[in-house]
Structures are given as structure tokens and as C-alpha cells.
Amino acid sequence: MKPQTKSTKLNIPFNTTTTLVLVLSFLHGIALADDHVHHDNNQKFLQCLSLHSEIAFISKVIFTQSNSSCISILNNLKQNLLYPSPEYRRPQVIVTLFDVSQIQSILKCARKHGLRIIVRGRDHEGLSYVSEVPFVMIDLMNFNQIDVDAEEKTAWVGAGATLGELYYKVAEESNNLLAFPAGVCPTVGVGGHLSGGGFGYLMRKYGLAADQVIDAHLMDVNGRILDRKSMGEDLFWAIRGGGL
């Protein structure tokens, strides 16, 4: 899962070094005039995707408001009952990606047709579920691959993987000799946890989870995949909670 939108490489105490692969993309959208325009841009967005993506991809991972599975996917892992209220706009499209090239197509088409992109997070405020302008929700649940190298004490972890999955995989691959210092809630996503710094019970001795990040793969709004060297130290600092 290395070339995925954002990957992060971590160092782990207890003889543990973990490399995280995160996926974060941010795209600010454009406020549109009325519902007719919203619908028209939605259709153009889907047509754009069909031109830049394989049909098989669209049928498997694209869920529009007319799709019977859309609501159940939207409500998956919800933390706040506020966002389904009628006054809040629902996503025009939900995308459950499994390959980095799909994100590049979505970025291109969303920007072209005036749709904001929001990456779904496990936030109690529900901010990743709502927007004042038409938006596309990206769900990273399929970006959950974890590759642990116990000998090198590193691991590449997809941004959609949970902390529980990471802890289990590290313990399994290292015969319970390695561990990674991060939060205590097993259902929190690795990508969001690291981008917020990563508080946990072990931080007094080992620091934040983000302190263990030694590299990262990040896709910017232009679809470029950047690593630590190409993004620069300022951005590398910022994606590990530097702005909090």
C-alpha cells in the first residue's frame, strides 16, 4: 500500500518502528447557485469520472444519493446524530476507494465541476459528514493494508486502518515483541490519529504517535504523490499535528 495518497513511516519504542501509510486529500469546493445546478454538476462529475476511470471502478466504489446502499454507508461508524438533520446537506457522492489512481481521478473531476471533497473521519462533531456546499465524501475503509517488517522494526499502514488493526498486526508479526505508542481506542483510524498528533498512555516516555513518523506519502490537490523529501519538512511537520 505504499503509493497511496498519504503514507507515513514511524519509529516505535519497545524495539518497534512502524511506518504508516496515510491517505489525506483536501480540496476546497465552490458554492453553487441552486439545486438544479447542484444536480447538473453532480451528473457532470459522474460523467467525468467515467471518462477518467474504469467502469468497474465506478460500479464498485461510487454511491450516489439514489443508490440504495448510500444511507447505510453514510451512517457507518457515525459518532454524532446531528449531521443527518434535514438542514445539513448530504454528500452528492460517496466513494469507497481502494487504489490511489482513483483518488487522482476524483480530485480532477471534483475541482472541474465545483464539488468539495471531504475525507470521512471518526469525528464527534460530524464535520466530515456535512458541508454548506455540494461535496463528495471519500471513505478510506479499503485503505487498511498493514505491512510490518519486524526485523527492521518498521511498518507501512494504510490511513484507513484502525489503531486496533495496527496493534494486532504489529504484535502478530513480531511475536508480541514490538508495540506502537498511540491512542487507546481501537476503532480510531490511523490517518486521522496521526494527523492530530496521536495522544496515548505511553506519550510521557515515548512522545506522541506522530513523533514516530519517519516518512509519509501525501497526495496534494493536484494529484501529485509526495514523500517527506518532496513535500518538505514544513508540510511534513504540519500533517503530523503541527497545526493543532
Distance CA 41, CA 37 (A): 6
* 44, containing H or E segment: helix 35-52
pLDDT (tens digit per residue) in 81-117: 666 566 667 788 888 887 777 888 888 888 888 888 8
Q: Residues of the chain with pLDDT > 90: what percent? A: 15
Q: Is the pLDDT of residue 1 over 70?
A: no
Cβ within 8 Å of residue 80, ≥6 positions away:
123, 124, 125, 126, 129
**C-alpha cell of residue 155:** 511498518
Cβ within 8 Å of residue 119, ≥6 positions away:
23, 24, 25, 26, 128, 137, 138, 140
| Burial annotation 120-134 (CB, 10 A radius, 16+ → b, else e) | bbeeeebebbbbeeb
Distance CA 177, CA 108 (A): 44
pLDDT of residue 86: 61
39 touches 115 (CB < 8 A) = no
Distance CA 131, CA 118 (A): 9
Read off the pLDDT of each residue in 125-133 and give the average, rounded to a whole number.
Answer: 77
pLDDT of residue 168: 94
Question: What number of other Cβ atoms are within 10 A of residue 206's Cβ?
Answer: 20
Question: Among candidates 177, 119, 188, 131, which has minimal Cα distance to 153?
Answer: 177
Answer left, alpha or beta for residue 9, where phi above 0 means left and psi between -120 and 50 means alpha: beta
pLDDT of residue 109: 86
pLDDT of residue 110: 86
Cβ within 8 Å of residue 157, ≥6 positions away:
1, 8, 10, 18, 19, 20, 21, 22, 145, 146, 147, 166, 190
At 225, the pLDDT band (50, 70, 90 cuts) reads confident
Q: What is the DSSP secondary-structure string of 100-154?
A: HHHHHHHHHHHHHTT-EEEE----TT-TTT--SS-EEEEE-TT---EEEETTTTE
pLDDT of residue 230: 94
At 229, the pLDDT band (50, 70, 90 cuts) reads very high
Could you give the domains of the chain?
A: 8-23+145-242 (3.30.465.10), 35-139 (3.30.43.10)
Distance CA 148, CA 151 (A): 9
pLDDT of residue 26: 31
Distance CA 139, CA 153 (A): 29
Structure-model confidence comparison of residues 48 and 8, the more confident one: 48
Alpha-carbon Rg for the chain, nearest whole angstrom, is 18
pLDDT (tens digit per residue) in 12-71: 543 333 333 333 333 322 233 334 445 566 788 888 888 876 656 666 788 887 777 777
Q: Is the pLDDT of residue 130 over 90?
A: no
Cβ within 8 Å of residue 36, ≥6 positions away:
none
Structure-model confidence comparison of residues 10 and 233, the more confident one: 233
Taking the model in full, what pTM does it have? 0.76
Structure-model confidence comparison of residues 224 and 22, the more confident one: 224
pLDDT (tens digit per residue) in 153-211: 888 888 889 999 999 999 999 999 888 999 999 988 898 899 889 999 888 888 899 99
Beta bridge partners, 213, equal 10
